[in-house]
Amino acid sequence: MPYFLLTFTLPDELRKLARSQQRLFYSTLFRTSAAAAKRLALDPKFVGGQIGMVGVLHTWGKDLTYHPHLHYLVPAGGIGGDGEWLPVRNNFLFPMKALSKIYRAKFRDALQGEDCFEQIPDRVWKQD
């Protein structure tokens, strides 16, 4: 079965906070990234249904620096409202810019009620 690999990461400015509050940041990373992908998948321009995902958390980069990120395997399609398989269109899952914009907003919204939110510079929420 064809599939896609999605990767979600945190900007450098959030890594120090993430390391000191791992439970909060890792759970937020999983929840918000999955929600962003599922939201785009519901759009008929892409899948038009629900997708499945298997995610793995990596906390270190190749150079052994702290670099929390997620990898998801996503089948190349989803299930429509009638239970029918809906393949992706033109071997394309989602546009990266749209996915990252939704993910960033969901991540920001999820952290707004947390004590650490005030420590995050505004520029983090505006960068690509």
Give residue 17's pLDDT band: very low, low, confident or very high (50, 70, 90): very high
Q: Is the pLDDT of residue 62 over 90?
A: no
Q: Residue 30 has which token pair?
A: 């999983």
Give residue 89's pLDDT band: very low, low, confident or very high (50, 70, 90): confident
* Domain containing residue 58: 3-125
User: What is the rounded CA–CA span in Å between residue 100 and residue 54?
Assistant: 18
Number of folded domains that form the chain: 1
What amino acid is encoded at 14 in this protein?
L
Q: How many residues are listed for the chain in this entry? A: 128
Question: What's the pLDDT at 10?
Answer: 92
What amino acid is encoded at 53 in this protein?
M
User: What is the rounded CA–CA span in Å between residue 103 and residue 124?
Assistant: 13
Are 29 and 104 a contacting pair, CB within 8 Å? Answer: no
Model confidence pLDDT, tens digit, residues 67-78: 999 999 999 999
DSSP 9: E
Say what the alpha-carbon torsion angle 32, 39, 78, 30 is, to the nearest 10 degrees. 0
Q: Whose structure tokens read 């914009």?
A: 101
Task: Using a pLDDT cut of 90, give the percent of the chain over it.
Answer: 81
